[in-house]
Structure 1
């Protein structure tokens, strides 16, 4: 007999976090999330998101065994910015069973409707500032850091329930050795032109991390304005994320574009820590996970180019290409094997073309879906 419950205690929350480990047991491409990080993310009061918005987690059991999970998300900041009545779903995982998926979504949609929301979009884990998108192309390997992974049957399950495409997202892969001499010379000429306009590129100053982050936050919130339902991060949300990333940040992979002391653009890449997480059973750091994490940190040979943004008024000057170029130059110098640039909007040629120009190959696609409720 199947039973749907609202997650309301620590035991149910642990079951919610652990379910993907059971679902993807035996899948060589599955990467477990760190249990502690996921538990804190889903505990009201632990993440700044809960200061302005709310979520409800649901679990579906069959004979005492979890067979599905989902989060209904009411992002009030999103609806204020867009004057909309959008709800979101996230953290969706389910066995390949249409009835089970339907039961989960009906519960999530009813919770959203009770709050006056008329549309549901997803998968979005809180907002597009966090993990989002359904993998629809490129199931041939594990995801990189902070990118989603799901079974191929998820898209048909969602489409059967009436979900339609909202937008597709791209992931590009760059392999070592494809940054041509032509690209190097081209980036050099563009940087010279930028310097004549008093625009310089430099790495982040870790000794002034807080000050640098404040400047980058302003660029981030301006550069992504109205980009795929983008909602500006609150100061606390940005600081929360920045402090998490600081632990794995290489300053050479955080490049700032500056004019007269003002930051006008930036690019950030992080090491692909999924190379380590995939080895940590069920996302537990103890007793051996922490040892694996520390022992393998310096062996990581891939990166994810996570963020790139240039404020309006400085676009189409070549800054985007040069920011990418600087990161790839350091990537090559460190003799790493691959870089993923993700995600980008399917139709955003301003960002996609520079990636393709330096050798990036489109290799994965993700989708945000929507449905009226």
Structure 2
């Protein structure tokens, strides 16, 4: 018989962080996430979702008192769906279906007590850009902030009755691979327009680029996120927090008469440095990080945000931007590979751009959904 242990004290919090490291100790592809990133999700002072939502963590022990699984279960009022839907995340479990079923049943009961009619997993009590999805293909080193799990997790979810709500596709390509002819043609077209300029983000003008980013994002993406817009202040805080790892050659903006119309934001893959820190980020780890960052070459960059304002969509401006940026970074950086942060299979526009880049799908994650009423009709995520 398994026992659920509520994570409240320091010992349980430590075990919540240490259990996956033990589970994957022999997996060479596993990169331990930073402890501080995980703890920030469950910090009421740092995660504003606690103002309206509810989240708890649990460990699961066998009769010998050994941890055999863990999970976070939560209700996020901002997570809009056809039916009230809760979430489970940070799920880790031994390769045993009965153990997984016990954890899933526990979460189902917890969510039903709070009026939920479905649960999604494995997702985050926060934004989709971190700790979201179950890895189902491409079991190589994860990007920073990306979930990683053993192949058997797919069976644990699907055998219980979870179904794919959507797939999360990660595309990769070599920096030096030929750029699509469609993109070079669009570059040639827009290069003849003197009003169009492409510029890289620079650290000494973060305020300007934060303003430009916010304008493009709110026009291009807010309608796909339930109308939620971001503020310039929030963007600026994000840019300032990223300043130590911003590479000025790989984040690009396009302007028409100085008005921002498109952006292509990349950063180095931080996991290529963080994998040496074993989850820590105290003073010694920070010093080690700075040393590694200086002397160990990072060969991979990650595309985290891509956006074009509505009036410039379907004009090929993305081809102009990508070819401008690619020519520049080939000359000024040593990156060899780029991987796009996941694209939902509900987003055919972004999938087409990835295809035009001649990028290949190199890993897939799945966002699973489980409906509590078996008679309710299951629907996948609608296309946007």
Q: TM-score, normalised by structure 1?
A: 0.88
In the other structure, the counterpart of 2:305 is 307
| Inter-partner Cα distance in structure 2 for 1:312 and 1:266 | 13
Matching of residue 13 in structure 1 with residue 10 in structure 2: no
Gaps of 5+ in 2: 373-384
Please list, as runs of the form range in 1=range in 2, the aligned pairs for 1:227-238 lying within 5 A after superposition.
227=224, 232=228, 235=231, 238=235
Structure 2 partner of 1:325: 323
Report the equivalent of 1:33: 33
Tell me, in whole angstroms, the C-alpha distance in 2 between the residues paired with 1:95 and 1:214. 46
Q: What does 1:63-212 correspond to in 2, within 5 Å? A: 63-79=64-80, 84-126=83-125, 127-139=127-139, 141-180=140-179, 185-192=184-191, 195=193, 198-212=195-209
Alpha carbons of 1:73 and 1:220: their partners in 2 closer, same or farther (altered >3 Å)?
Answer: farther
Q: 1:102 to 1:58 in 2, by over 3 A?
A: same
How has the CA–CA distance of structure 1 residues 234 and 189 changed in structure 2, closer, same or farther, with 3 Å as cutoff?
closer
- Structure 1's 176 and 207: CA in aligned 2 closer, same or farther, altered over 3 A? closer
Q: Residue 273 of structure 2 contacts residue 293 of structure 2 at CA under 8 Å; is this kept in 1?
A: yes
Residues 1:211 and 1:240: Cα distance change in structure 2 (over 3 Å): same
- Helix, strand or coil for the counterpart of 1:57? strand
Separation in structure 2 between the aligned mates of residue 210 and residue 50 of structure 1, nearest angstrom? 29
Cα distance change, pair 162–209 in 1 and its aligned pair in 2 (3 A): same
- Give the secondary-structure state (helix, strand or coil) at the position aligned to 1:104: helix
| Distance in 2 (alpha carbons) for counterparts of 1:93 and 1:174 | 30
Please state if 1:297 is matched with 2:296.
Answer: no
State how far apart, in whole Å, the 1-side matches of 2:217 and 2:103 are: 35
Counterpart Cα distance in 2 of 1:239 and 1:10: 33
CA distance in 1, matches of 2:229, 2:179: 37
Cα distance in structure 2, aligned partners of 1:96 and 1:233: 41
Deviations 1:165-213 (Å, cap 9, x if unpaired)?
A: 11112111111321359577435314326x36x3432222433323432
What is the deviation of 1:243? 3.9
Partner residue, 1:224 = 221
Q: Distance in 1 between matches of 2:202 and 2:50?
A: 31
| Counterpart-to-counterpart distance in 1, 2:129 and 2:183 | 32
Q: 2:146 & 2:330 partners in 1: Cα distance?
A: 23
CA change 1:226–1:107 in 2 (3 A) is: farther
CA RMSD of aligned residues (A): 2.6
Aligned to 1:280: 277
Q: How many residues align?
A: 366
* Structure 1 pair 160–273 and aligned structure 2 pair: CA distance change class (3 A): same
Partner of 1:365: 364
Unaligned 5+ residue runs, structure 1? none
* 8 Å CA contact retained: 1:306, 1:342: yes
Q: Is the 8 A contact 1:58 1:69 kept in 2?
A: yes
Name the residue aligned to 1:257: 254
Give the deviation of 1:255 after TM superposition: 1.3
Do 2:216 and 2:261's aligned partners in 1 also have CA atoms closer than 8 Å? yes
**Kindly tell me: are residues 91 and 18 of structure 1, through their superposed partners in 2, closer, same or farther at Cα, counting changes over 3 Å?**
same
SS in structure 1 at match of 2:13: helix
Tell me the secondary structure at the aligned position of residue 341 of structure 2. strand
Report SS of the residue matched to 2:293: helix
TM-score scaled by length of structure 2 = 0.86
Query: How far, CA to CA, are the matches of 1:24 and 1:6 in structure 2?
Result: 23
Question: Which residue does 1:356 correspond to in 2?
Answer: 355
* Range moving further from structure 2, 69-78 or 234-243: 234-243
User: 1:266 corresponds to which residue?
Assistant: 263
The structure-2 alpha-carbon separation of the partners of 1:59 and 1:30, relative to structure 1 and needing over 3 Å to count, comes to: same
Q: Cα deviations across residues 205-255 of structure 1 (Å, max 9, x unaligned)?
A: 43332343244234324423454x667365476555444333311132221
CA contact (8 A) 1:249 1:270 kept: yes
